Amino acid sequence: MNQRINPRTVAIAQRSFERLRPDVEAFSRSFYTRLFQIDPALEVLFPTDLDSQRSKLVAMLDQMVGHLSDWDALLSESQALGVRHAGYGARPHHYVGVGSALIWALERHLGPHFTPEVRDSWREVYEVFFRAMTDNRGQ
Ligand code: HEM
């Protein structure tokens, strides 16, 4: 995988993530609620304590978004996360629902700041996460 993210996309994704920060807990709640509506079969894969799960997701997104311009760091973090996810039962097709839930939660929590440009930037960023997480694992 040899994809770099254009600096404008990085800046837009980072700025919009900053906007979520004051209400990041509500954002992560919306994300999981939406995810389990989209793909109810996923719910059983998750621990019942979603509180700690939510904080781990937010911390990881924070770290990955912070590393969007640091390709080596982003790649190694995402690949390691992808290997752990293979162990959790995540399969490539599951990433579609996760991506939709993420975009949906961003739209909901960014409100008027969720412009088409923000949406497209996050789609691009999520595609990078997805590709790195599912790369080189023979799936
Ligand atoms: C970009 C996409 C994703 C990100 C950033 C992400 C992030 C995370 C993080 C940070 C954790 C905490 C544990 C760890 O760090 O290993 C986690 C756990 C988990 N993720 Fe994801 N995830 C993503 C996609 C998915 C997908 C597609 C699935 C589909 C099944 C999934 C299912 C799970 C499950 C089941 C756990 C809980 C594992 C356990 O504690 O038993 N994730 N995820």
Query: For ligand 1, which residues put their CB under 6 angstroms from it?
Result: 42, 45-47, 53, 56-57, 60-61, 81, 84-85, 88-90, 94-95, 98, 129, 133
Ligand 1 centroid vs 86 CA: distance in angstroms? 9
- Confidence at residue 89, expressed as pLDDT on a 0 to 100 scale: 93
Q: pLDDT (tens digit, 9 = 90+) per residue, 32-65?
A: 999 999 999 999 999 988 999 999 999 999 999 9
Residue 93 domain flag: yes
Q: How far apart are the first and last CA of the chain?
A: 15
Each residue's pLDDT tens digit, 84-130: 999 999 999 999 999 999 999 999 999 999 999 999 999 999 999 99
Distance CA 102, CA 139 (A): 23
Predicted local distance difference test score (pLDDT) of residue 136: 63
pLDDT at position 135 is 86
* Listed residue (121, 114, 108, 115) closest to 32, CA to CA: 108
- Which residues form the domain of 118? 24-134
Domain count, the chain: 1
Q: What is the CATH number of the domain that holds 86?
A: 1.10.490.10
pTM of the model: 0.94
- Mean pLDDT in residue range 73-91: 94
